[in-house]
A = this chain, B = another copy of it.
Amino acid sequence: MPVKKGKFKKYVYCFAGGKAEGDASMKMILGGKGANLAEMTNLGLSIPPGFTISAEVCKIYYELGKKWPKGLEKQINDNLKKIEKVTKKKFGDFENPLLLSVRSGAAVSMPGMMDTVLNIGLNPDSLNRLIEKTDNERFAWDSYRRFIQMFGDVVMGVPHFAFENELKKVKDKYGKQLDIELNYEELIEVVKNYKKIYERFTKEKFPEKPKEQLYKAISAVLESWNTDRAIKYREINNIKGLVGTGVNVQTMVYGNMGESSGTGVCFTRDPANGENKLHGEFLINAQGEDVVAGIRTPIPIDELNKLLPKNYKELQRIRKILENNYRDMQDLEFTIEEGKLYILQTRTGKRTGASAVKIAIDMVKQRLITKNEALMRITDDDLDQILHPQFDTKELKNKKPLTRGLPASPGAAVGQMVFNAEDAEKWADLGKKVILCRRETSPEDVAGMHKAVGILTSVGGMTSHAAVVARGWGKCCVSGAGEIDIDAEKKEMKVNGKIFSEGDILSINGSTGYVYQGEIKTVSSSLSPEFKMIMKWSDNLRKLKVRTNADSPEDTLRAVQLGAEGIGLCRTEHMFFAESRLSIFRRLILFAYESRRIESVLQRLSSDSERIALEKEYSKVNKEYKKALSELLPLQKRDFRGIFKTLKGMPATIRLLDPPLHEFLPKNLQEQEELAEVTNISLDRIQHIISDLHELNPMLGHRGCRLGITYPEISDIQVRAIIEAAIEVKRKTRKNVLPEIMIPLVGHYKELQLSRERAEIVISKVFTEKKVKKGYINYKIGTMIEIPRAAVTADEVAEFADFFSFGTNDLTQMGAGFSRDDAGKFLDEYIELGIYDKDPFQSLDIEGIGKLISIAIELGRKKKNKLKIGVCGEHGGDPKSIYFFNKAGLDYVSCSPLRVPIAILASAQAVLIQKSIVSKKKKAGKKK
C-alpha cells in the first residue's frame, strides 16, 4: 500500500477517554503491554490515558542508524494534545503539569529486561506545582529524586551504583536506615547531589525541558531493545521473530501519595497452584517498582479488603471482566491513587505447571475454553515441573528447617552454594549442582540462574525478579528469606548465627519456602486429578504410542505408571556398569580381545610348531572368555526377567551392547593392577590392550553392531539371556512377553543380515533347549536407524528388520557432523547467529535430520508397508519433535520415564495441530 505524499505511516496509537485505537489482537504492532492497555481501555476499565508507539518504529529506528522516522515527532505531539484534553493537564505547564511514564513493551513479555522511566515532565517549576497540588513535599521531592536517578541510569547510562552510593551517604549522614525514612529536606540534598553526579558523568546539565526529557526517554526505551542483557534474555528464552519493542507513554498515577494510595501486582488465579481466586500482593504508599524490584516485602492481596475494601471489590470485578475477555488467567499491575484504582497493565500470567493444568481444566469446566484449547495451552515445561522431584516426606519429618522464605517456584533442589551468577555458570559447567544465593537477583544474573538447580534470595516477594524468572523456567526458587544475610563479596551466608560458605550443601523447597542445611533425599511428586484428566484427554486424541527408555524394573514401573506403553529402548550396557558386573565384564573384554588376536595370528601362521604353541594359548584364553560369558548370562537374564515382569505383556525393545569396549576398562593404575591380578594377564599387557582399544573418534569407532560382528559371542549371550528370560517369565506369569531385539548402529544391511542370522540360530537353540514351540515367544528383530547410510539405504535394511527405531541423537551427530560432546564449542554461537533455531540435540533439526528420517521412512515402508517405526533418541520427549514424528507417520516415540506424560500430551497436540493445518489448507483450497 503506497503511502500518500506528505502522509506518514501510523506510528502512534492512542488510548484515552474510554476509547482506544488498538486492541488485544495487535500485539505484534503495539507490543503486549500496549495492546492490552488498548483492550482494557475499550473494556471500560480505568486506565491512565496514554499512547503507544508501535514496535515497527523500533525496527525503523535501527534501520535508520538510531534515528526517529519522519513524522513520528508530529504524531507524538498530536497524541499528547489528546491526552492533555482528556486529563485536563498540560505537558510542560506551570499550572497543571501533565507527568508521564515511558515504558517498553514487546509482543512477548520480557519481565525486568526492558527499561522504564517515570515522572517525565518534572522540573523545578512543575515540582513546585506538584507540592502545591498534593501538599506533600516529601512525595514530590522523592518523585524528583527517583526521576533523576531513573533518567540518569536508563537514558544517559550513569552508573546505578553512583546514585546508590550517594543515597547511602545521605542516609548515613542522618542516621537513617531506609529510603522512606528520609524527610523532604534530606531528599532535597539528595536531589542536589544527584544532579552533580549526573553532570559529572554526562558532561551536561540535567534537562529541565519536558519535551527533551520525553524524547530522550523514548529513544532510551528503543535503545534498551538491543542491550546485551535484552539480547541474552531473548537468547535464553528462545524469543525470535520480533521486530522490536513498543513504547508506551502514559499519564503518571501515584501509589505513594499516602495511606489511601498503594500499588500492587495480582493474578486472577493462583499462579502456584491454580486456585480460582485473586492472588497477589501490594504495598500501601509505594511506587510500582518497589513491588517488582522486591526491595520491600509486600502484603498479601486479601488484606486489601480490610485496608481499602472498595478498591478490593473493584479489583474482584475487574478480575472477572478480564478473564471473560481474555479467556485466560491474567497478571495485572494496579495503582491506587488517593482511593482511585487504575489498572496499569494486564497480560497472560505466568504460572507453575500444576497451576497451568488446574487452570486449564477449571476453565473447561467453566466453559471458558474447549478441551482441545486446554490441551494446547499446557506445555512440556508445565508437565516437567509437575513431575519434578519433591523432598522425601519421611526425611523431611526429621529435618528442622534453617529458615523460611516465600515459596516462589515449586520443586525441591539440592546443591552447593554459590554467591554470584558467574560462579554458578562455572560450577555448573564442571558438572556441579549449585544453589545460587543472592540478596536479590537482577537481569544480569539470568545466565547463572539458568545453570543453577535452585535459587535462594533474602529479599523480594513472589513477584520479584528471581521468582518470576524461576517460575518461567520451572526452576525451584525460595525468595525473600529475610533472616538470611548474604555477603556476596565474602561468599558467605549468615542465618541465625550459623555461617555458610561457598560449596556448602543446601536443600531448598520452592513449594513451601523452607530452607535446610545439608542434603535431603528427593522423590518424585504425586499427580493431581487434573493432571490425570489431561492425560486421559490426550490418550483419546493421540495416534502415536508412547514408550519409555528404561534399563531397570524401577524405571520401567515409574514410566508405566506415567502412561508408558512399553519400553522403546533398554540399554543393556547400563547393566554392566554395576560394580559386581563390571569386573566380570572387564575380564570378558580382555579375554575376548586376546581370543580374537590369537585367532587372527593363527590364520596367518603356517609353521606347525608355532601353531601348536599358539593353539594351546588360544584354548586357555578362550576358556576364560567363555567362563566370563557364562558368568554374565544369569545376571543379564535376571535383569530382563525383572523388566518383562514389570511390563505385564507390553513390548520391550532391547538394544544389544552399544558403546566401545574401552569405555568399560579402567583408567587408573590401581584398578588396572587389580584386573591384572584377577585375570593373570600382566599389567603391561593390559595397558597395551587398553591403549590398543583407545579410539581417536570413539563416536565413529568400534561399537554397536560392529562389536557383535567381531565378538559374536557377546551378542549370543545377550540374545540368549533375552529369550531365556522371556520364556521363563511367560511360563511363570502366564502373561505374554514381547521382546524386540534391537541391533544398534547398522549402516549396511549386511550388518543386520549377519547379526540377525546369528541371533536366529541362538534363539532356535534356546527354544529347543527349553522345549518350547517355535512361536512360543513372539520376538522381533530390528535395528536402530542412526547412521545416515542406513537412512538412505533403508529399503535394503528393511528387508531384514521387523522394526526401525530412529536413534536421533547419533543420527544428528553423524548427519550434521558434530559430536554432542564437542559441539558446545560453537553451537551457542550458531544459535545466536540463527544458523540453528534451537539446540538440535534438544529439538530435532526437522529440515536436515528430519529429511534423513523422512527418506528412511519412505524407503523402509516401500519395502515393507507395515514396518513398525519408532524413535528412541531424546527427541522422543520433545514436543516440537513429536509433532514432526506424528506427521511423518511413526508408530511410537520413546523417552525417559519423566517425559512420558509430556510425550503423551504432545502426541495429542500433534493431532490437533495436524487437524488445524489440514483445515486451514482446505479453507485455502476452497477460496481458490
Q: Which A residues form the contact surface with B (CB < 8 A)?
A: 159, 228-229, 232, 422, 444, 447, 603-606, 608, 695-702, 706, 709-710, 745, 747-748, 750-751, 754, 786-789, 792-793, 796, 810, 813-819, 821-823, 825-826, 829-830, 833-836, 845, 847-849, 851-852, 855
Contacts and interface: CB of A to CB of B under 8 A. Distances in A.
A160 to B, nearest CB: 9
A852 B815 CA distance: 11
A751 B422 CA distance: 30
Nearest to A796: B847
Contacts of A696: 698-699, 819, 821-822
Given A422-B604, A701-B822, 6 more contacts: A444-B605, A697-B822, A706-B826, A709-B829, A747-B818, A814-B814
A881 to B, nearest CB: 16
18 contacts: A228-B606, A232-B604, A695-B821, A697-B698, A699-B699, A700-B818, A701-B823, A702-B822, A706-B826, A710-B825, A751-B835, A787-B815, A788-B817, A789-B815, A792-B848, A792-B851, A793-B847, A793-B851
Given A789-B815, A817-B789, A852-B788, A833 B444 contact: no
Contact of A228 (B228, B604, B855): B604
A796 B847 CA distance: 10
Which interface residue of A813, A815, A833, A845 has the most chain B CB atoms within 10 A?
Answer: A815
Contacts of A701: 818-819, 822-823, 825
B700 A835 contact: no
Contacts of A748: 816, 835-836, 848
A462 B228 CA distance: 79
Contacts of A787: 815-817
A396 to B, nearest CB: 37
Nearest to A231: B603
A131 B550 CA distance: 84
A741 B810 CA distance: 31
Which interface residue of A701, A754, A817, A834 has the most chain B CB atoms within 10 A?
Answer: A817
A870 to B, nearest CB: 20
Given A748-B848, A751-B835, A829-B710, A603 B699 contact: no
A817 B700 contact: yes
Nearest to A793: B848
A726 B444 CA distance: 48
B709 A826 contact: yes
A709 B829 CA distance: 9
A788 B709 CA distance: 25
Given A228-B603, A606-B444, A816 B835 contact: no
B697 A747 contact: no
A851 B825 CA distance: 31
A817 B814 contact: yes
Q: Could you tell me the dominant secondary structure of chain A's interface residues?
A: helix
Contacts of A815: 787-789, 792, 814
Contacts of A830: 709
A750 to B, nearest CB: 4
Which interface residue of A604, A699, A793, A852 has the most chain B CB atoms within 10 A?
Answer: A604
A268 to B, nearest CB: 34
A747 B845 CA distance: 12
A815 to B, nearest CB: 5
A833 B787 CA distance: 20
Contacts of A814: 700, 788, 814-815, 817
Nearest to A787: B817
Given A608-B159, A814-B788, A821 B709 contact: no
Which interface residue of A699, A796, A829 has the most chain B CB atoms within 10 A?
Answer: A699
6 closest Cβ pairs, A-B complex: A788-B788, A700-B819, A697-B819, A787-B817, A444-B606, A701-B822
B700 A699 contact: yes
A226 to B, nearest CB: 12
Contacts of A747: 816-818, 848
A848 B789 contact: yes
Nearest to A818: B700
Nearest to A786: B817
A695 B833 contact: no
Contacts of A826: 702, 706, 709-710
Contacts of A695: 819, 821-822, 825
Contact of A700 (B710, B786, B822, B845): B822
Nearest to A788: B788
A816 B791 CA distance: 10
Which interface residue of A447, A789, A815 has the most chain B CB atoms within 10 A?
Answer: A789
Contacts of A751: 835
Contacts of A847: 793, 796
Contacts of A745: 817
A793 B855 CA distance: 12
A825 B700 contact: no
Contact of A697 (B604, B699, B829, B834): B699
A709 B831 CA distance: 12
Contacts of A822: 695-698, 700-702
Contacts of A836: 748
Contact of A833 (B754, B810, B834): B754
A340 to B, nearest CB: 38
Contacts of A788: 788, 814-817, 852
B702 A700 contact: no
A756 to B, nearest CB: 13
Contacts of A422: 604
Contacts of A750: 833-835
Contacts of A796: 847
A172 to B, nearest CB: 22
Contacts of A793: 847-848, 851
B604 A447 contact: yes
Contacts of A834: 750
Contacts of A852: 788-789, 792
A447 B751 CA distance: 26
A845 B788 CA distance: 13
A823 B855 CA distance: 26
Contacts of A789: 815-817, 845, 848-849, 852
B228 A835 contact: no
A696 B696 CA distance: 8
A25 to B, nearest CB: 32
A59 to B, nearest CB: 21
Nearest to A693: B825
Which interface residue of A754, A796, A814 has the most chain B CB atoms within 10 A?
Answer: A814
B606 A813 contact: no
Contacts of A232: 603-604
Contacts of A821: 695-697
A788 B700 CA distance: 14
A754 B709 contact: no
Given A754-B835, A817-B814, A825-B702, A855 B792 contact: yes
Which interface residue of A754, A792, A834, A836 has the most chain B CB atoms within 10 A?
Answer: A792
A511 to B, nearest CB: 31
A447 B702 CA distance: 23
Contacts of A792: 792, 815, 848, 851-852, 855
Nearest to A845: B789
Nearest to A813: B700
A593 to B, nearest CB: 11
Contacts of A810: 817
Contacts of A606: 228-229, 444
Contacts of A706: 818, 826
Contacts of A845: 789
Nearest to A854: B792
Contacts of A698: 696-697, 822
